[in-house]
Structure 1
Amino acid sequence: MTTATTIFTRRALIAVLTMVLVPLWSAPPGAASTDGSGDAVAVNATRLTLATDTDIPKGATVDLLRRTMTLAAGEKRHLRGRLEATSTTTGIVGLTQRIRCLNAAGATVPAVAASARNHEGSDTTTYAIPGHLPLYADLLLTAPAAGVYTCVLQGSAYSTLSGAYHLTAVAGSTWLEADDTDRTGARWWQNPACESADPNSSCTYVGGGPARRDAWVFYDDGTPVHQWQAHPNAATVSAQANVELTTCYQGTASCSDTMEAYPRGENAVVDTRLEFIQLDMTGHACRTHSTSARRTVTDDAHHAVGYSALSGIPVDPACGTRTFLMRVYVKHVSGQTVKIDGVQSGITSLTNGIAFNQFPSL
């Protein structure tokens, strides 16, 4: 994947990081099916866990785990990956996680799901486990044709720090999970193209100056508005969204120059709200289900993804349709202007959503 270069300064060191972006907050909850009572129960999935610590050298992309599946044309599988990494340096090093699926000929199947964040150093104490940075990513694979597909969890490290260093994927805490059965009728959302350096000023920004004060991801950001039909046999439905955010401090190579208002260190705060809306017969909102969070994105982290999820949503027959709309509200609160990242290199999705049917147990 081709990504752009971002410059970071820490302890008088400058690390130039080629990256696509990151998770900050809680791990994304999995989609669920339901039993006869309508209570959510876990979908059967297989989790492959990294058996031994695996080094990720600077400038390298390492295949960590892989799952091979034989799928019918149109069959869908939800994959979730977790990469937990430590570092041998106190400097800032870029870390990217990708879930990439290949067909039998070795060609990549769109889309690739990616997340990343700067590992802020072996002495960092702001992670849940000091020095241990976890990343998560979600992908909905839809087989374009019948055949064998291999999905790979990859990790990449990058920086211009001098000297020898590497990141390490931690055994037991790094894993790739994939559904064992078809996710009938599930739907994938992704927002428009937005390259890291945004040379064409095509990205969506929220903040001060020329940026918008707020935006609706998947709704007014150039994404075609999609109305999803819940399956007739679904007892409930669920939705999740991963929204990738980047701070636009002065001198960064990850934003349009016109969006850089403050020196590095200002940080940013945004409010987000995932809405999953059941529509009525006129196409207007009948039932709105939502979850909100306040997100802080530091300039040291620079990139972060906010996870949101709703599960066990009833399909209300009084609405007259089984049609749903997904959107995510992003509002700037304070600090740096923030870029909402999109698809890079035509294939790698940094901001995305998934809707699932949840069927009664038989």
Structure 2
Amino acid sequence: MNTGRVAGRAFTACLVAMAVAVVALWPAAPRAQAAGVAAAPAGAGGTTRTALAVDTVIPRGVTVDLVRRTMTLAEGEKRHLRARLEATSTTTGIVGLTQRIRCLDASGSTVPVVAASARNHEGSDTLTYATPGHLPLFADLLFTAPAAGAYTCVLQGTAYSSLTGSYHLTAVAAGTWLEVDDTDQVGAGWWQNPACESADPTGACTYVGSGPARRDAWVFYDDGTPSRKWEAHPDAVSVSAQANLELTTCYHGTASCAEAMQSHPRGRNAVVDARFEFIQLGTTGHACRTHSTTARRTVTDDAHHAVGYSRLTGIPVDPACGTRNFLLRVYVKHVSGQTVKVDGVQSGVTSLTNGLAVNHFA
């Protein structure tokens, strides 16, 4: 056993989530890399994928612009952006990684919302990733232009750790990309859960687990998210929906959860069941057609943060229901191990847990 590695992991992990809250405030690094463009068919109107052209170093404590895309949009025009950041590490210790999609207006100001996801890179010798040592992260954003004009959307990466010595993460070319719809996503809907800062000093976050935590929760439904229904477009023949659910383990000593929610020593890990539901409502406001997908998820204390991705596609809009209204929610139930925090909006603009619904017209 590499005792230096274990000690480094234990010391680093309690600091990792703090950078998620700060990252939206840091300026973009000046070392943006050139990117290649390739078309990728997906959805009505298609998408354009812009891939990172060369491997790009992400030093600790620095936010690096990786891929960017500029669009000229009409007021209210919508685009679904999806990003993938694939990272390797030069150390066997744990290094935190946050990716975000941030869109800027012509003046260079950030347009809310910023979409983010985070997870610890568990080391260059990690064998649990699909490609050993290569950690992939995804994020999604529904961008709505607040006014007519040009907007530049940027995929950024940030590394952070308390490890000593010289090390860095590297964004891998081709495996790191930003994908954007080519046409307006007319009538698309966006969900995000309430404010939940990294250390949760005010106790605003939703927790699922043991002790004082809830045993289960409905994200976007009974977690303080404002109640809302989404109406499919009158001309839509089908719809699709997805949800990105970011969870953080609350082991003893972490700086990422309220102290009262820290039930077990580090190393216990967490297991949760999640069920994503997209429900077409009837005329009484109750469920008429329920579409769902389930998954059991393990979040390790080494990873500390983990985002789960759920998607339901090609759902027909049933006229027999009498309405075109839908409800989107995620049921989360604690199974064993650590209490987990459901990550929410940080620093007022950065969304870590979110949902998206789109119309299909053909």
Q: Structure 1 residue 260 and structure 2 residue 259: aligned?
A: no
Q: In the TM superposition, what are the counterparts of 1:2-151 in structure 2 within 5 Å?
A: 10-13=5-8, 14-15=11-12, 16-17=15-16, 18-20=18-20, 33=43, 43-151=45-153
Q: In the TM superposition, what are the counterparts of 1:226-305 in structure 2 within 5 Å?
A: 226-305=228-307
Residue matched to 1:309: 311
Decide whether aligned partners of structure 1 residues 31 and 273 sit closer, same or farther in structure 2, where only a CA change above 3 A counts: farther
Q: Which deviations, in whole Å up to 9, do the C-alpha atoms of 1:160-202 show, x marking residues without a partner? A: 1111111000011110000110000001000000000000000
CA distance in 1, matches of 2:196, 2:300: 21
CA distance in 2, matches of 1:271, 1:31: 32
1:32 and 1:238 in contact (8 A); partners too: no
> Could you state the TM-score of these two structures normalised by the residue count of structure 2?
0.91
Decide whether aligned partners of structure 1 residues 43 and 307 sit closer, same or farther in structure 2, where only a CA change above 3 A counts: farther
Choose the corresponding residue for 2:209, options 207, 210, 227. Answer: 207
CA distance in 1, matches of 2:332, 2:212: 16
CA distance in 2, matches of 1:139, 1:108: 14
Residue matched to 2:184: 182
TM-superposed deviation, 1:43: 4.5
Q: Which runs of 5+ in 2 are unaligned?
A: 22-39
Could you tell me which amino acid in structure 2 is paired with residue 126 of structure 1? T
CA distance in 2, matches of 1:244, 1:104: 31
Could you tell me which amino acid in structure 2 is paired with residue 56 of structure 1? I
CA distance in 1, matches of 2:128, 2:45: 33
Percent identity over paired residues? 76
CA distance in 1, matches of 2:261, 2:66: 37
Could you tell me which amino acid in structure 2 is paired with residue 84 of structure 1? E
Q: Which deviations, in whole Å up to 9, do the C-alpha atoms of 1:220-242 show, x marking residues without a partner? A: 00001110110011010010000
2:41 and 2:47 in contact (8 A); partners too: no
Runs of 4+ in 1 over 6 A off after TM superposition: none
More RCO (CA 8 Å, sep 6+): 1
1:32 and 1:311 in contact (8 A); partners too: no
CA distance in 2, matches of 1:131, 1:43: 35
| Structure with greater helix share of residues | 2
Decide whether aligned partners of structure 1 residues 32 and 260 sit closer, same or farther in structure 2, where only a CA change above 3 A counts: same
Decide whether aligned partners of structure 1 residues 127 and 278 sit closer, same or farther in structure 2, where only a CA change above 3 A counts: same
How many equivalent pairs are there?
336
CA distance in 1, matches of 2:240, 2:45: 12
Decide whether aligned partners of structure 1 residues 208 and 31 sit closer, same or farther in structure 2, where only a CA change above 3 A counts: farther
Q: Structure 1 residue 359 and structure 2 residue 361: aligned?
A: yes
CA distance in 2, matches of 1:156, 1:32: 28
Q: Which deviations, in whole Å up to 9, do the C-alpha atoms of 1:40-60 show, x marking residues without a partner? A: xx6511100111000001110
CA distance in 1, matches of 2:109, 2:75: 16
Could you tell me which amino acid in structure 1 is paired with residue 61 of structure 2? G
CA distance in 1, matches of 2:344, 2:42: 27
TM-superposed deviation, 1:31: 11
Q: Which runs of 5+ in 1 are unaligned?
A: 1-8, 22-29, 34-41
Q: Which deviations, in whole Å up to 9, do the C-alpha atoms of 1:133-183 show, x marking residues without a partner? A: 001000000001101000000000111111111100001111000011000
Residue matched to 1:319: 321
TM-superposed deviation, 1:256: 0.6
> Could you state the TM-score of these two structures normalised by the residue count of structure 1?
0.91
